[in-house]
Amino acid sequence: MSRRSSLQGLWSSRRSFVLAATGAAVGLGNIWKFPYLAGINGGGAYVWVYLGCILAIGLPIMIAEVLLGRRGRRNPIDGMRLLSEEETGGGWWRAVGWAGVATGILILSYYSVVAGWALDYTLRAAINLFDRGELAQAGRAFDQLRNAPLRQVLWHTAFMAMSCWIVAKGVKGGLERTVGYLMPLLFLLLLVMVGYAAGTGGFAEAVDFLFHPHAGLDGRTALVALGNAFFTLSLGMGVMMAYGAYLPEGISIGRSAIAVAVADTIVAVLAGLAIFPVVFAQGMQPALGPGLLFRTLPAAFLQMPGGSIFLLVFFILLVCAAWASSIGLLEPAVAWLVERHAIPRARAVLIIGAIAWVIGFGTVFSFNRWADVKVFGQTIFQNLDFVTTAILLPLVGMLIALFAGWVMSKSSSADELAEGSLVGYRVWRFAIRFVAPLGIIAIVIHKLVR
């Protein structure tokens, strides 16, 4: 079965899809979130569970998302409605599409604020506003930024405008062309940073920290690792489904998804190898949480020869990664407005961008004016982060696994996947029916009973 996707266009090649999907996957989750989560969760134990979640749960679900996207040839909401009607006679599975798109918008709302911090730091590094030397000074600079709501709003607005500008240009003129430049640049900058970190004197300690389990693992840490695996692969957000809708026939979904997952994982590990050697070389602690990149790194870099240049390179890298991911988070909802309601693409981008921008104010004010506003003991930002990564992403991923593995007929999924390798298809089908859903359930139950 084949459906044309004439409204949005198609990727021009497998390479374009892999670059775009990798761009959507590689972002703040890899370079900001993965290192700080590894830092506060003991390093090696967390990293190995994270890698296991990528292989056993993330990759099968990514293949399923791309499969559903290409099979439906629509935005995630209408695509799931169409597939649900074909496979079950009813359309209630469209709720999976709605949940994914809504999750993507919620994530984008705070993602843009954090990316705004990176823009601010890029400018500060470029004009050498950081004082050399002390961790306390770097901490004060970050506190000043978080306590300045207007400054955060300005950077949040600037980053959202950058993302909207690209998405408004369409699949080939915007998404494909942008990631074609951004992703090679990102990998180059990251390799430069790892090369620099290797000469800091803390590289061996960083490798030991990242790959040797130094502490036991509890249910909460496993759930965090699972949520971060979904976050870094951009699963459960409608992104891979939307990008899959633009994937031409004849291109292997399995091989493409494996390439994306491998590239994404390599970036996360390289980010850790770029950051922790610098931290350890200066005798600093890795368990500083979300402020690791913004409190610790400026002080660490500026105590080292040539550090000011590499500090600038690092924050340019962070902005590039965030930009490539944010356009993927915008695309599913934009595609729905364009296809379902025939709204011009530029207007659809403004509508979705404005919604995410307004929600983002909750994150901005969580660090200053609304810092004392707590729901379930957490700020608005903390609740957004927890609800999306620990609840919605695993839930949507579970539903996708159930639909692709148990609701969709074997002939339908084989029609999209079995052209590459029959053995590979059988492995995927077993994983999506049993390994992925049971793995998600086991991790969630383990957290609840401890």
Instruction: Assess whether pLDDT exceeds 70 at residue 447.
Output: no
Q: Where are the alpha helices (DSSP H) in 73-176?
A: 76-88, 94-126, 135-146, 149-167
Given a cut of 60, whether residue 269 has pLDDT beyond it is yes
Does position 69 have pLDDT exceeding 50, yes or no? Answer: yes
Phi, psi (rounded to 5 degrees) for 375: -120, 120
pLDDT band at 131 (very low <50, low <70, confident <90, very high): low
Provide the percentage of residues in the chain whose pLDDT is more than 90: 52
What is the overall mean pLDDT for the chain?
A: 88
Q: In this model, does residue 2 exceed pLDDT 50?
A: no
pLDDT of residue 364: 97
Q: Please give the angle made by the CA atoms of 280, 286 and 290, to the nearest 5 degrees.
A: 140
Which residue reads 């290409």 in tokens?
70
Residues 6+ apart with CB under 8 A from 355: 105
Q: Is the pLDDT of residue 353 over 60?
A: yes
Q: Give the amino acid at 437.
A: P
* pLDDT value, residue 203: 92
- The 8-class DSSP code of residue 289 comes to G
Three-class secondary structure of residue 3 per DSSP: coil
pLDDT over threshold 50, residue 322: yes
Q: Which residue has the tokens 């810092």?
A: 371
Q: What is the mean pLDDT of residues 364-391?
A: 92
Phi/psi for 129 (5° steps) reads -85, -10
Q: Is the pTM of this model over 0.95?
A: no
Would the pLDDT of 343 be above 90?
yes
Quote the pLDDT of residue 427: 94
Percent of the chain predicted with pLDDT > 70: 92
- Residue 6 in this model has a pLDDT that exceeds 50: no
Q: Could you tell me the two tokens for 358?
A: 């307004």
* Confidence label for 440 from pLDDT (cuts 50, 70 and 90): confident
Average pLDDT over residues 102-107: 96
Q: What would the mean pLDDT of 67-81 be, rounded to a whole number?
A: 95
> Are 17 and 247 spatial neighbours (Cβ–Cβ below 8 Å)?
yes
Region label for 85, one of left (φ > 0), alpha (ψ between -120 and 50) or beta (otherwise): alpha
**Triad 197, 200, 204: Cα angle to 5°:** 80
Distance CA(320)–CA(88), nearest Å, equals: 42
The whole-number average pLDDT for the span 169-184 is 83
